[in-house]
């Protein structure tokens, strides 16, 4: 399909409302919203049952219009919608907003068939069609509305644009955002996104100069790779905040019936969003708090956040919640610490978070301004937050403190965020003090973490083209390869594997073991016996001729017992590797995002804890390091957990990047790869077991 005419859909100069009426139905609400928006172009009501609607001439059909509008808003039931769209296409209308439900969202044969006809019409006509199952589109900045959504009174024009697959949650974001004083521009109810989907809206908003922050409420995506590319492109230009619905099995069951989307793997979705630079949140309050902070704050130059409070208890609580949110609190520099001690007349050094030992010390004279000045001058501090014990009815001292902040705000060279642990009324009416005000302490700390992470992502240079990797001649076989075949391919690709030999009799096994002069591992090798441990197909720590011969016999018997007639390649004998931290490295196909690389803790730890993360290839070293940092126990294993030797991360990072290059070059032939474990020995990654499955 050729490029969709999104400008006609999202910045129309004229619109027609098919189904407009003077009733309080969808058509009536759409028409009145269009008038109330202050639209500067022509608005044509179309309905054969009216000669006029709200004093405006009404047309019996699209063919009767005096001019071809840019966009048709189809406010009729699903049973009549396709005919209206066909008429729109015949008249040359380039875009449409389809509001009706009853397509893929219905989950019925009739709905599926209707959706197929819709797709065919869009392909034939080239129309940009938003919806179906949509509440429409509004732009407060461009003053047009093609929606039946009830806009809250007092909703301000601003620079936050929202794309939502959920109409109800779009209403929630608007209402709660209005309470927080947020200003909106685009309000896009994406609905099913059958033709114009999330990637299209992201591309448009990325280029929209009025939009400073994009917020998304997403139930699922169909083309994960295209969504990922659009999201990354948008995040390079401006912050994107994503609330993902359907993170649990129960939630996922509702997404297909709601919008016709499949929720997919939450782990893959969240990881892809983070990799693309989006801020991923868990609820509407966090979406609003994060978007508000990103709208009103400069991006910090680093991750050092200094927080101070007038309450000792609030300081401790802030530290607890901040660590939970993922913030790190670095000590104050000696010079700044002494400067703050002199200002506040305190003899002991301050920690971070910092208890200033009571409200009177800050209120005295210009102390708060002087403290802010000291922290503002310290280049080692990247962001500042003040936790104020604020009551609903502020005391005179609180009013003075807020006045000091407002007066100093123009001099700030870094973000300053004010939070309170005592009141909820800032959620309803945040004060205008020249800096962001968080609704609650917990939400504010989470939003600060998002701000820090997004700034770090923006500072990271875009990944360079990967170093060239030789294309290997993979076997013509379709399906799983035995371990020795898989390791041979990985070895040819540059991965380190233990010295080994595939043997077909006990004498060969004995000869290899004696030549190594060290303990060996012996494993059954067959494309049909991939889970070797479960059938007794692995023997470890073997020494001497007798042990090797006895193990060879046991392994052969175990293989024949498990698969009496299947092919047996032989017994793999390899040197037994020394102890070291173990990880899982794999390639798996996600239904929505395609090939994804998985990293997790391996060995016995993999059986006890679910600790893994994923990324979309290709990866550079920075992305590989992020994967390692996301594991709960990855760094602990490398640090020398229990009796394991300590190792730096260089070997594992290099292996992840090399693996990414390998799978990127050979992705057309690779169905999946499971390297479990990959062990870190002397700073290098060694593949101890692997299975490749080929297309």
CATH number at residue 686: 3.30.470.20
* 545 and 661 part of one domain: no
Spatial CA neighbour of 165 closest among 227, 234, 113, 76: 227
User: What per-residue confidence (pLDDT) applies to 582?
Assistant: 94
User: What per-residue confidence (pLDDT) applies to 256?
Assistant: 42
Spatial CA neighbour of 693 closest among 589, 617, 593: 589
Q: How confident is the model at residue 603 (pLDDT cuts 50, 70, 90)?
A: confident
Q: Give the mean model confidence (pLDDT) for residues 371-396.
A: 89
- Cα(421)–Cα(389) distance, integer angstroms: 6
Give the Cβ contact number of residue 265 at 10 Å. 19
Q: Give the mean model confidence (pLDDT) for residues 209-216.
A: 98
* 434 and 417 part of one domain: yes
Look at the chain and report how many structural domains it folds into.
Answer: 5
Give the Cβ contact number of residue 624 at 10 Å. 23
Last-in-domain residue among 550, 575, 600: 575
Residues 298 and 436: beta-carbon distance below 8 Å: no
Helix (H, G, I), strand (E, B), or coil: what is residue 473?
coil
Task: Tell me the per-residue pLDDT of 501-553, one tens digit each, with 9 for 90 and over.
Answer: 999 999 999 999 999 988 999 999 999 999 999 999 999 999 999 999 999 99
* 290 and 316 part of one domain: no
Q: Give the mean model confidence (pLDDT) for residues 264-277.
A: 90
Say if 50 falls within a structural domain. yes
* 669 and 629 part of one domain: yes
Say if 466 falls within a structural domain. no
User: What per-residue confidence (pLDDT) applies to 251?
Assistant: 41
User: 284-296 and 441-459 helices cross at what angle (nearest 10)?
Assistant: 60
Say if 248 falls within a structural domain. yes
Q: Give the mean model confidence (pLDDT) for residues 327-349.
A: 95
Task: Tell me the per-residue pLDDT of 624-667, one tens digit each, with 9 for 90 and over.
Answer: 999 999 999 999 999 988 788 899 999 999 999 999 999 999 99
- Cα(47)–Cα(58) distance, integer angstroms: 6
CATH number at residue 182: 3.40.50.261
Computed over every residue of the chain, the mean pLDDT equals: 92
Question: What DSSP designation does 563 have?
Answer: -
Task: Tell me the per-residue pLDDT of 76-105, one tens digit each, with 9 for 90 and over.
Answer: 999 999 999 999 999 999 999 999 999 998
Last-in-domain residue among 459, 477, 508: 459
- Cα(574)–Cα(576) distance, integer angstroms: 6
- Cα(95)–Cα(512) distance, integer angstroms: 72
Say if 49 falls within a structural domain. yes
Whether the per-residue pLDDT at 693 is higher than 50: the answer is: yes
Say if 628 falls within a structural domain. yes
Residues 651 and 667: beta-carbon distance below 8 Å: no
Around 73, how many Cα atoms within 13 Å sit in the side-chain half-sphere? 33
- Cα(602)–Cα(519) distance, integer angstroms: 22
* 204 and 111 part of one domain: no
* 320 and 447 part of one domain: yes
Name the strand (E) or helix (H) holding 585: strand 582-590
Q: Give the mean model confidence (pLDDT) for residues 226-247.
A: 95
Say if 160 falls within a structural domain. yes
* 348 and 401 part of one domain: yes
User: What per-residue confidence (pLDDT) applies to 467?
Assistant: 63
Whether the per-residue pLDDT at 260 is higher than 50: the answer is: no
- Cα(272)–Cα(266) distance, integer angstroms: 10
Last-in-domain residue among 242, 263, 295: 295
Spatial CA neighbour of 309 closest among 321, 317, 301: 317
**Sequence-ordered list of residues with C-beta below 8 angstroms from that of 13, at least 6 positions apart, any chain:** 41, 42, 70
Say if 142 falls within a structural domain. no
Domain housing 437: 297-459
Spatial CA neighbour of 654 closest among 680, 675, 693, 633: 680
Whether the per-residue pLDDT at 261 is higher than 60: the answer is: no
Whether the per-residue pLDDT at 352 is higher than 80: the answer is: yes
CATH number at residue 531: 3.30.1490.20
Torsion of CA 330, 333, 338, 340, to 10 degrees: -50
Tokens of 291: 């978007």
* 566 and 614 part of one domain: no
Whether the per-residue pLDDT at 287 is higher than 90: the answer is: yes
Residues 584 and 600: beta-carbon distance below 8 Å: yes
* 171 and 286 part of one domain: yes
Task: Tell me the per-residue pLDDT of 461-490, one tens digit each, with 9 for 90 and over.
Answer: 886 656 667 889 999 999 999 999 999 999
* 290 and 317 part of one domain: no
* 557 and 591 part of one domain: no
Say if 141 falls within a structural domain. no
Q: pTM for this one?
A: 0.91
- Cα(443)–Cα(423) distance, integer angstroms: 13
DSSP string of 239-299, one letter each residue: -EEEEE---SHHHHHHHHHHHS-----HHHHHHHHHHTT-EEESSHHHHHHHHHHHHHSPP
Task: Tell me the per-residue pLDDT of 575-600, one tens digit each, with 9 for 90 and over.
Answer: 999 999 999 999 999 988 999 999 99
* 311 and 454 part of one domain: yes
């Amino acid at each position: 399909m050729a490029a969709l005419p999104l400008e006609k859909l999202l910045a129309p100069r004229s619109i027609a409302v098919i189904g407009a009426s003077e009733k309080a139905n969808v058509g009536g609400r759409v028409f009145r919203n269009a008038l109330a928006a202050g639209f500067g172009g022509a608005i044509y009501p179309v309905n054969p049952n009216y000669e006029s609607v709200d004093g405006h001439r009404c047309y019996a059909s699209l063919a009767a219009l005096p001019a071809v509008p840019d966009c048709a808003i189809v406010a009729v039931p699903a049973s009549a919608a396709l005919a209206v769209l066909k008429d729109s296409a015949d008249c040359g209308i380039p875009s449409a907003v389809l509001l009706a439900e009853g397509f893929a969202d219905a989950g019925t044969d009739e709905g599926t068939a209707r959706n197929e006809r819709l797709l065919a019409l869009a392909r034939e006509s080239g129309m940009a069609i938003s919806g179906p199952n949509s509440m429409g589109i509004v732009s407060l900045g461009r003053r047009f509305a093609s929606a039946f959504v009830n806009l809250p009174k007092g909703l301000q024009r601003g620079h936050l644009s929202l794309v939502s697959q959920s109409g109800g949650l779009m209403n929630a974001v608007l209402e709660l955002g209005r309470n927080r004083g947020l200003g909106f521009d685009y309000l896009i109810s994406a609905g099913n996104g059958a033709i114009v989907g999330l990637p299209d809206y992201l591309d448009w908003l990325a280029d929209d100069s009025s939009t400073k922050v994009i917020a998304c409420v997403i139930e699922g995506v169909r083309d994960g790779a295209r969504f990922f590319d659009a999201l990354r492109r948008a995040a390079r230009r401006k912050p994107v905040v994503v609330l993902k619905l359907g993170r649990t099995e129960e939630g996922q069951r509702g997404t297909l019936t709601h919008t016709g989307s499949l929720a997919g793997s939450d782990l893959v979705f969240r990881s892809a969003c983070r990799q693309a630079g989006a801020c991923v949140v868990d609820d509407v309050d966090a979406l609003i708090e994060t978007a508000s902070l990103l709208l009103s704050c400069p991006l910090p130059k680093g991750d050092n956040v200094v927080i101070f409070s007038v309450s000792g208890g609030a300081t401790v609580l802030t530290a607890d919640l901040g660590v939970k949110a993922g913030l790190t609190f670095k000590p104050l520099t000696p010079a700044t610490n002494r400067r703050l001690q002199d200002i506040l007349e305190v003899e002991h050094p301050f920690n971070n978070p910092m208890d200033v030992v009571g409200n009177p010390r800050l209120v005295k004279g210009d102390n708060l301004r002087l403290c802010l000045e000291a922290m503002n001058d310290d280049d080692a501090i990247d962001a500042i937050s003040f936790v104020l014990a604020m009551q609903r009815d502020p005391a005179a001292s609180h009013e003075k403190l807020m006045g000091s902040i407002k007066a100093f705000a123009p001099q700030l060279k870094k973000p300053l965020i004010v939070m309170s642990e005592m009141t909820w009324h800032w959620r309803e009416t945040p004060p205008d003090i020249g800096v962001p005000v968080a609704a609650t302490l917990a939400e504010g700390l989470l939003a600060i973490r998002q701000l820090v992470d997004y700034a770090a992502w923006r500072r990271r240079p875009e990944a360079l083209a990967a170093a060239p990797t030789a294309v290997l001649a993979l076997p013509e076989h379709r399906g799983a390869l035995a371990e020795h075949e898989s390791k041979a391919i990985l070895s040819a690709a540059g991965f380190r594997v233990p010295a080994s030999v595939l043997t077909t009799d006990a004498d060969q096994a004995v000869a290899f073991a004696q030549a190594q002069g060290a303990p060996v591992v012996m494993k059954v090798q067959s494309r049909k016996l991939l889970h070797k441990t479960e059938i007794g197909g692995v023997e470890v720590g073997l020494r001497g001729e007798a042990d090797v011969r006895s193990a060879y016999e046991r392994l052969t018997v175990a293989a024949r017992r498990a698969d009496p007639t299947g092919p047996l390649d032989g017994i793999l004998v390899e040197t037994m590797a020394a102890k070291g931290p173990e990880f899982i490295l794999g390639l798996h196909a996600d239904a929505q995002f395609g090939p994804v690389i998985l990293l997790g803790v391996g060995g016995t730890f993999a059986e006890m804890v679910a600790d893994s993360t994923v990324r979309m290839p290709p990866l550079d070293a920075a992305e590989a390091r992020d994967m390692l940092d996301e594991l709960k126990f990855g760094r602990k294993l490398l640090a020398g957990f229990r009796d394991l030797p300590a190792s730096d991360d260089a070997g594992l990072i290099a292996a992840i990047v090399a693996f990414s290059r390998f799978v990127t070059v050979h992705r057309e032939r690779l169905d999946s790869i499971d390297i479990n474990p990959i062990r870190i020995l002397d700073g290098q990654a060694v593949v101890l077991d692997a299975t490749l499955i080929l297309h």
